[in-house]
């Protein structure tokens, strides 16, 4: 499996490119599309899906350009579907922008499995930062968006946020994974479930 992290987006959000056998996905295209496509081409990947962990601008600002360049389907959890297309909810208006994204091609639910290049990506619904926040597990790795960070958790003061729901999501959906599972968050450095478990 190839895995690249591009920490160049708005607010230094992490965009991940993951693939195997010349097929791949892009998680949270929040940085310059040229940088994303440079890695895609270097890795010789055919991008099948663009998966958005939640509907905030810093994790999706390049979605339409990447969809156009790759022909990939855009996926987001059903509870954040409106955030993808509503510039007030995703905070594009706050940055002087209008509509930045069209509707998703597919709406996700908890437990969905996405198969790409021989990798199984499991969708884990982890509401709290937003109603439709998801984490994406592939083997011994989990991409946590803004649900869980190294030494931190997602903020809950934005629309759809709820602290008690977020903490419950982390405790029941993430800390139950193996201690050796590597956490790749939406911002900052990677960590492990075992390391983060000591904080709860």
CB 30 within 8 A of CB 10: yes
The 10 Å CB-count burial string (b at 16+, else e) for 11-27 is: eebbbbbbbeeebbbbb
Cα–Cα distance between 132 and 54 in angstroms, integer?
A: 6
Residue 23 has pLDDT above 80, yes or no: yes
Residue 96 has pLDDT above 70, yes or no: no
Q: What's the rounded mean pLDDT across residues 135-153?
A: 97
CATH code of domain 2-197: 3.60.15.10
Residue 151 has pLDDT above 70, yes or no: yes
User: Which residue, among 76, 65, 71, has the nearest Cα to 45 in the 3D structure?
Assistant: 71
Q: What's the rounded mean pLDDT across residues 60-86?
A: 96
Q: For the whole model, what pTM was predicted?
A: 0.96
Domain boundaries, the chain: 2-197
* pLDDT tens for each residue of 155-186: 999 888 999 999 999 999 999 999 999 999 99
Report the run of H or E that residue 165 belongs to, with start and end: helix 163-169
CB-based burial label for 156 (10 Å; 0-12, 13-18, 19+)? middle
pLDDT (0 to 100) of residue 116? 98
Within 10 angstroms of residue 165's Cβ, the number of other Cβ atoms is 17
3-state SS, one letter per residue, for 81-101: HHHHHCCCCCCCHHHCCCCCC
> Please, which residues have CB within 8 angstroms of residue 110's CB and are 6 or more apart in sequence?
123, 124, 125
């Amino acid at each position: 499996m190839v895995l690249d992290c591009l920490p160049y987006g708005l607010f230094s959000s992490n965009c991940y490119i993951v693939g195997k056998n010349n097929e791949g996905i892009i998680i949270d295209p929040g940085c310059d599309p040229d940088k994303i496509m440079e890695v895609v081409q270097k890795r010789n990947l055919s991008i099948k899906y663009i998966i958005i962990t939640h509907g905030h601008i810093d994790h999706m600002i390049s979605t339409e350009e990447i969809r156009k360049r790759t022909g990939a389907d855009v996926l987001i959890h059903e509870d954040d579907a409106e955030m993808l297309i509503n510039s007030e909810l995703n905070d594009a208006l706050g940055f002087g922008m209008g509509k930045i994204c069209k509707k998703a091609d597919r709406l996700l639910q908890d437990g969905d499995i996405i198969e790409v290049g021989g990798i199984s990506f499991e969708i884990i619904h982890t509401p709290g930062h937003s109603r439709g926040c998801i984490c994406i597990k592939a083997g011994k790795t989990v991409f946590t968006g803004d649900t869980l960070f190294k030494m931190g958790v997602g903020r809950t003061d934005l629309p759809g946020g709820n602290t008690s729901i977020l903490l419950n999501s982390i405790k029941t959906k993430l800390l139950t994974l193996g201690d050796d599972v590597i956490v790749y968050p939406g911002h900052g450095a990677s960590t492990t479930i075992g390391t983060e478990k000591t904080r709860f």
